[in-house]
A and B are shown apart, each in its own frame.
Chain A
Amino acid sequence: MRYSGLRVIAEALTGHKGWKPVWRDPAPQPSYDHVIVGGGGHGLATAYYLAKEFRQARIAVLEKGYLGGGNVGRNTTIIRSNYLLDGNQPFYEFSLKLWEGLEQDFNYNAMVSQRGIMNLIHTDAQRDAFTRRGNAMILNGADAQMLTRDQVRAIYPFLNFDDARFPIKGALAQRRGGTVRHDAVAWGYARGADQRGVDLIQNCEVTGFRIEGGRIKGVETTRGYIGAGKVGVAVAGSSSRVMAHAGMRLPIESHVLQAFVSEGLKPLIDGVMTFGAGHFYVSQSDKGGLVFGGDIDGYNSYAQRGNLPVIEDVAEGGMALMPMLGRARLLRAWGGIMDMSMDGSPIIDRTHIDGLYFNGGWCYGGFKATPASGWCFAHLLATDQPHKTATAYRFDRFLKGRMIDEKGQGATPNLH
């Protein structure tokens, strides 16, 4: 069933009785050519592009819970491609280009809204760093623009421009950045994959890998054994737990990141704003809630909930940037589990086991990467070669000293 305006009108006139479930609920087959572990944004995107772009068949996605029930449903929905390093920026720009055509591509309203993102500047040194970053973005085909203090003030007059510690001196802006309806991304990819014959198998936890002679044969699951030619694991947040079944230790720690939403307010912030110096970022949802967050809690966690000190820290950052935030009530706070990698960048690579592939280590930036992550992982699964924008995301970069460390923090996952 294709969605269209005509279809909506026709359904409205007939009492909306014609809508059908948009994906099947199949029982697992005995074996598949490609088994994707993880029915989140990245796993579903991988299955979708495997079927659509790489013409592969006999694909299954195995999901422990329900589709899109993990981090794709828990993030703060921001898309952008404002990275500095060569290993990252072309990949994220590829992703942003895929976002721009995504809804037409999978015929689903994901509410891609290029409302712009700005990173605030508070010191001359920061302006230099952001100028360099902006130039790197432009060199890699993205858009970037330096805004003066007055230009920022014209857009957001209510900010605290004369804060004693962090006066606002300008911003690095990317107009093509923005937000996307996160759940709809998972649903759109799921529907698109299902339409192309991918089996989306829910409530199916992978409990082990069957490996013979250094080659993957299949996966043990709570719904029985499933044979597989190739297995791609895309379970960021739980990567270490799943890959431990294959005897692997990863350059990853799991950390909890909290996010917050205020009560619904009238239109106030039309884009995305980051206040890096104060560890705070904010956007406004279409329902009116201010969606904001800050740092990860900083200790290993699988708990999907954080502690009060970070809530206090985020609230302080928000109050420092826009004091009127104190008048709004906090509606919800929640947490998600991040694959914090050792250099702050992801991994899309083969493993030492033939036919077993890994996608993870997305830190707290996985959502914006969803389309490119799926495309590049599908490319790797289908061709055994990395996509040209993802050649740096290798396991062995740590051994070879080719880290992609945007923040220059070294092997300290809780500081990336």
Chain B
Amino acid sequence: MIINHPLLGPRDAQEFVYLGDARLIHRPDGLAEGAAHAFHDYLYLRDNPAGEHRELWYHEQGDRSWLVVTRNTVTHEISRVELARDVARAEGRSK
């Protein structure tokens, strides 16, 4: 698989480390009511879809950026690559 890095252009997926579902960006509030259950769901439960999947890849052997890659789990086709930083900000996670 080739991941088209937004800053570096097309890079071999071997340069990256895979983390998983991009929903992991949304870490629950540890002080909120029901945090134990929220963290259980966050840490252990997955949608695991067959089809389009947004997922986190880390460019360990490159610029060490985190990316959100939209990839089809049935065909392995990659349709979109974004910097995780931009995605997190757009989704209200960071300042």
The reply on A29 being an interface residue by CB < 8 A is: no
Give which listed residue, B49, B55, B74, contacts A299 with CB less than 8 A.
B55
B74 x A253 contact (CB < 8 A): no
Q: Within the assembled complex, what's the spacing in Å between the Cα atoms of A309 and B47?
A: 26
Query: Of all chain B residues, which has the CB nearest A342?
Result: B44
B46 x A251 contact (CB < 8 A): yes
The reply on B61 being an interface residue by CB < 8 A is: no
By a beta-carbon cutoff of 8 Å, the part of chain A in contact with chain B is 238, 240-241, 244, 249-254, 298-303, 307, 309, 342, 398-399, 411, 413-414
Q: Within the assembled complex, what's the spacing in Å between the Cα atoms of A342 and B21?
A: 13
A240 x B76 contact (CB < 8 A): no
Interface flags for B42-59 (1: CB within 8 Å of A; 0: not) read 011111111001010000
B74 x A249 contact (CB < 8 A): no
B13 x A309 contact (CB < 8 A): yes
Q: Which residues on B sit within 8 Å (CB–CB) of A399?
A: 36-37, 40
B47 x A307 contact (CB < 8 A): no
Q: Which residues on A sit within 8 Å (CB–CB) of B14?
A: 309
A-B contact count (CB 8 A): 67
Q: Which residues on B sit within 8 Å (CB–CB) of A251?
A: 44-46
Q: Within the assembled complex, what's the spacing in Å between the Cα atoms of A307 and B45?
A: 26
Q: Within the assembled complex, what's the spacing in Å between the Cα atoms of A301 and B49?
A: 9
Output the least CB separation between A363 and chain B (Å).
14
Q: Which residues on B sit within 8 Å (CB–CB) of A249?
A: 41, 45-48
Q: Is the interface of B mostly helix, strand, loop or mixed?
A: mixed
Q: Which residues on B sit within 8 Å (CB–CB) of A250?
A: 45-46, 48
Q: Which residues on A sit within 8 Å (CB–CB) of B47?
A: 240, 244, 249
A302 x B46 contact (CB < 8 A): no
* Known pairs A302-B74, A303-B74, A414-B20; A252 contacts B37 (CB<8 A): no
Q: Which residues on B sit within 8 Å (CB–CB) of A413?
A: 20
Give which listed residue, B1, B44, B48, contacts A300 with CB less than 8 A.
B48
14 contacts between A and B (CB under 8 A): A244-B47, A249-B47, A253-B20, A254-B73, A299-B71, A300-B55, A302-B74, A303-B73, A303-B75, A307-B1, A399-B37, A411-B44, A413-B20, A414-B20
